[in-house]
Amino acid sequence: MHNGTRESTFYFRLNAGIIGVALSDAARFGRNPSRKGVGETMDFKPKPRNSGLAPRKPKNIRLKLVKSPPQAADAPPGLSQEGALPAPRRAKNSPAKEPALAAFGKQERAKPEQAAKEHLEKAGRGKAKAGKKVEKMHKKAPKRGKTPPPSPLVDVPFASEQEKEACAAFLADIRCRIALREKEKAAMIHDFEKAIAYLIKSGVPASEALRRLDAQNLGGFYSRPSGAWYALDNAAKIYPLSMKHGTMAVFRLSAYLKEPVVPEILQMALTFTIKRFTSFATTVKKGFFWHYLDVTKRRYDVEPDSGVPCSPIYIGRSGSQSFRVLYFENRISVEFFHILTDGTGGMVFLKTLVAEYFRLLGVESSGDGILPINALPAAEETENAFLRVKSDGRASGFMGKAAVQLGGRLAAVRPCRILHFKMDADTLKAAAKAHGATVTAYLLALMFVAGRHATDRIDGEMCVQVPVNMRKFYPSRTLRNFSMYCGIRLPVRDITDPGALVGEIARQLEKKASREAMDEMVRAANQITRVLSFIPLFLKAPVARTVFGYLGDGIFTTTFSNLGVVTLPPELTGRVESMDFVLGTAITNRVSCSMVTVGRAATLTIAKNTPDPSFEEALYALLERDGVAPHVEGSELYEG
């Protein structure tokens, strides 16, 4: 509305309706508000403002009215057919139709002060009073680099007035549902704006875009202060006690899509998904006796994947998150601090995130371990499932002799290289069958032989740690840690040919990964937990760190964690190329191996702690000899 003064020309009326345009917003959007040609700009806040001169936090959304271009015929709107991101529709917004757009484009990067000054000069009414206000604005103008980012909705081609209004109402609703700190709230609104802009530019009708991004997907998660907390499960208790600078139990799960990841959509997918995984939306805190997970309401953000995989997550600050979602080209990765979950729980999160990502792009899917994001989390999902194991009975299983370690110096950067052996699952299964073994036993045999190639030791024993999913013995929907491990142990001198080893490995697997053996180990873990319960954390933490530092992972030569076959709903199978699983938890072990299979794509991953290539080269040769012929992808060596 009009405030009756000349300065109120910053609030003016266009055909679009009542429009209030603050000068500060002009600065934000980098355009001159006095130019009608610049656009049918509109303010969704009907209330007038008293002063439009002082820069303030962006509240207005200015949207441009242009006709919506036709949608792609075959692909779902929002999802490009050929994998390329849709180009902004500049052709439709041709200068002939909107001559001011070109000028707007030039001004887009203008400084806020400059834009304000220009406006006043061109409007011809910036005399004494306005001059004073400009001076005032100059004083209050945000410093370079602190200017709020321009709204992505500036050049969005809305088809009609109703769409703009719907969008404005939508964003107003979103604002009401977010009760975070101002900075995070602004960032989250910006996320929504970016996602809307992306979807509309890629041909999705605005109504459909708003439906997909419906505010109900936020639930009440971001509008209530947090009060919940979770005690650590019995397996997780050791991780914060043993961690130190540069050493942290982090693992990573990745999904490779058939087209490049859209960060704007991934961010929204995470924003919607995280509320379902309340035990992941937490910060690690110190209690007097144990650490715990404190639910933290914040904007959990996605980051470009530009660091060393599985590098420690900084969890020290108030409100720090204990996982990270990364994207690189066509890969979505989630790295978890093991305190939150194990591979199975992590995979549920990744699948749900990917499903939500595709839902936002127009591909609905459900089932196959994907959690409905708007459903209430079941109590069972956050339970400490180790307590399901009865306490009466024998308890043992944590101690062991030191195992032979592979050769090669330990790298300063850990893991210093990631290698993915991508194989055809059927061929791999056939190769295992030819040896009369399961895939796990067969690959273990190959690892023992490859390990033998990577060490000069001729005596002692090699031991491979094999995590065992306890859910197969105690069906549980828990998303927390619920796995134990066993050690497959062979004397170095007996390690010659995989064929000669598979029988013994299968026998040991059957015995050591049995329910009885696992129960004994869980009981031992539960007993240790009970004994340590009443010792204050400041006393037990240094002791645990020292003990763990001495023992470390020295009783194992390496680890092989097989997540098995991951199923995806049919809507996603054609869109997810493969998955991989990286273990970054080793301390003295030179390599850690992990595997996951999706459809026909089996990916064996080797996370290396040494530049010595003997292990992977031997493993590759053995696989090739058996006709598996893996395709190898991975990272460069992070240090020479």
Judged by CB, which is closer to other proteins: 29, or 239? 239
Judged by CB, which is closer to other proteins: 197, or 310? 310
From the CB of 204, what's the least distance to other proteins, in Å? Answer: 30
Judged by CB, which is closer to other proteins: 111, or 422? 422
All residues at 6 or more sequence positions from 367 whose CB lies less than 8 Å from its CB, including other chains: 569
Residue 570: other Cβ atoms inside 10 A = 10
From the CB of 273, what's the least distance to other proteins, in Å? Answer: 23
Judged by CB, which is closer to other proteins: 441, or 593? 593
Judged by CB, which is closer to other proteins: 83, or 246? 246
From the CB of 417, what's the least distance to other proteins, in Å? Answer: 9
Judged by CB, which is closer to other proteins: 297, or 435? 297
User: What single-letter amino acid sits at 546?
Assistant: T
Strand partners, 252: 335, 582
Judged by CB, which is closer to other proteins: 86, or 415? 415
From the CB of 367, what's the least distance to other proteins, in Å? Answer: 30
Judged by CB, which is closer to other proteins: 90, or 631? 631
Q: Phi and psi dihedrals of 53, rounded to 5?
A: -90, -40
From the CB of 620, what's the least distance to other proteins, in Å? Answer: 5
Cα separation, 217 vs 272, whole angstroms: 6
Cα separation, 202 vs 208, whole angstroms: 12
CA distances to 58, 272, 326, 351, 501 from 301, in Å? 21, 11, 9, 18, 46
From the CB of 77, what's the least distance to other proteins, in Å? Answer: 29
From the CB of 592, what's the least distance to other proteins, in Å? Answer: 17
Judged by CB, which is closer to other proteins: 270, or 284? 284
From the CB of 529, what's the least distance to other proteins, in Å? Answer: 9
From the CB of 366, what's the least distance to other proteins, in Å? Answer: 30
Judged by CB, which is closer to other proteins: 537, or 551? 537
Q: Which among 351, 359, 355, 240 is positioned nearest to 294, based on CA atoms?
A: 240
SS (H, E, C) 24-51: HHHHHHCCCCCCHHHCCCCCCCCCCCCC
Burial tier of 296 (Cβ tally within 10 Å: 0-12, 13-18, 19+): middle
From the CB of 308, what's the least distance to other proteins, in Å? Answer: 5
Judged by CB, which is closer to other proteins: 473, or 620? 620
Q: Which among 598, 610, 607, 636 is positioned nearest to 250, based on CA atoms?
A: 607
Give me the residues that bind other proteins (CB under 8 A), please: 181, 227, 229, 231, 240, 243-248, 283-292, 294, 304-309, 315-319, 328-329, 331, 384, 412, 418-420, 533-534, 616-617, 620, 631-636, 638
Q: Phi and psi dihedrals of 3, rounded to 5?
A: -100, 5
Judged by CB, which is closer to other proteins: 139, or 245? 245
Cα separation, 187 vs 193, whole angstroms: 10
Burial call 577-589: b when 16+ CB within 10 Å, e when fewer: bbbbbbbbbbbbb
- Asked if 578 and 377 count as a contact pair (C-beta separation under 8 A), the reply is no
All residues at 6 or more sequence positions from 141 whose CB lies less than 8 Å from its CB, including other chains: 27, 55, 112, 113
From the CB of 196, what's the least distance to other proteins, in Å? Answer: 28
Judged by CB, which is closer to other proteins: 418, or 444? 418
From the CB of 476, what's the least distance to other proteins, in Å? Answer: 17
Cα separation, 200 vs 624, whole angstroms: 48
From the CB of 640, what's the least distance to other proteins, in Å? Answer: 13
DSSP per-residue string spanning 344-396 = HHHHHHHHHHHHHHHHHTT----BTTBPPTTSPPPGGGG--GGGGS-SSS---
Structure-block tokens of residue 346: 């992590």
User: What single-letter amino acid sits at 6?
Assistant: R
Q: Which long-range contacts (CB under 8 A, 24 or more apart) does 43-49 make?
A: 43/11, 43/18, 43/19, 44/165, 44/168, 44/169, 44/171, 44/172, 45/20, 46/1, 46/18, 47/1, 47/20, 48/1, 48/2, 48/3, 48/8, 48/11, 48/20, 49/3, 49/11, 49/20, 49/22
